[in-house]
Amino acid sequence: MTDIAAAETAYAKINLALHVRARMADGYHALETLFAFCADGDGLTAAPADDLSLVIEGPFGEGLSAGPDNLVLRAAEALRAATGVCAGAAIRLDKRLPVASGIGGGSADAAAALRLLARLWAIDVPRETLHGIAAALGADVPACVASRACRGEGRGDALDFLDEAALAGMPVLLVNPRVAVPTGPVFARWDGIDRGALAEGDPLAAALAGRNDLEPPARALQPVIGAVVAALVACGGVRLARMSGSGATCFALFDDVAVRDVADAAIAAAHPGWWRLATRLR
């Protein structure tokens, strides 16, 4: 185990497309999605300690539980149980991304904790073991552990990694109107209609031809999501504008950083209360 504090980023996740194909008997939904990850996100640090502990700070940390139900601590306990590690860690989470916003949230934090603690505790965790731990924590956690472009099927945890060169470095603007959209109610409002498969091949072309089947039910719960997408499209120079995950964060992809930054400034001027993050894809 290292005596030096370690740091890790919980990279913001976006769903370039998200097709809901069916409701499954176990209560989950059969999905086809294209995951991409941004270069920025929440920040985690961990230092050696006798016990496990978590402190949450940052602009979106207020009101979040740092108790044993937090996914970060659940991930830490699951990693210890799977590997036989007895060490502790003093973990600090800098919550920079909005909560319940469709860009990874607790799943990305849990995934970052797994990467962080494996390094802190100097343990070599087999990929299959890590995937099993992650999948037990949540459907998005395996993709967030990898934090690289991939196609997800099943619950979203059956992953097929994509050619990263097709998307890496693409400028992206994330915008959230500062409303939380819990995942459960959005899925519950899905109309049950299978609108077809997600295309194979080039991920950007597949995304452009695809859709997010959770956007209509999310808009029904929070109509402002439609205003966010419309504001992004109106900026011009946008390759793709869409809601991510179950909302309410929306994203726009650009070919040029300068065009993205113009859009960022325009959104800031027109909607100063909205949260924004100008970043790029990993």
Active site residues: 13, 140
Asked if 134 and 142 count as a contact pair (C-beta separation under 8 A), the reply is yes
Structural tokens at position 167: 């998307």
Following DSSP, what letter does each residue of the chain receive, concatenated?
Answer: --SS-EEEEEEEEEEEEEEEEEE-TTS-EEEEEEEEEEEEEEEEEEEEESSEEEEEESTT-TT---STTSHHHHHHHHHHHHHT---EEEEEEE--SPSSSSS-THHHHHHHHHHHHHHHTT----HHHHHHHHHHH-TTHHHHHHTS-EEEEETTTEEEE--GGGTTT-EEEEEE-S----HHHHHHT-------PPP-S-HHHHHHH--BTTHHHHHHH-THHHHHHHHHHHTS-EEEEEE-TTSS-EEEEES-HHHHHHHHHHHHHH-TTSEEEEEEB-
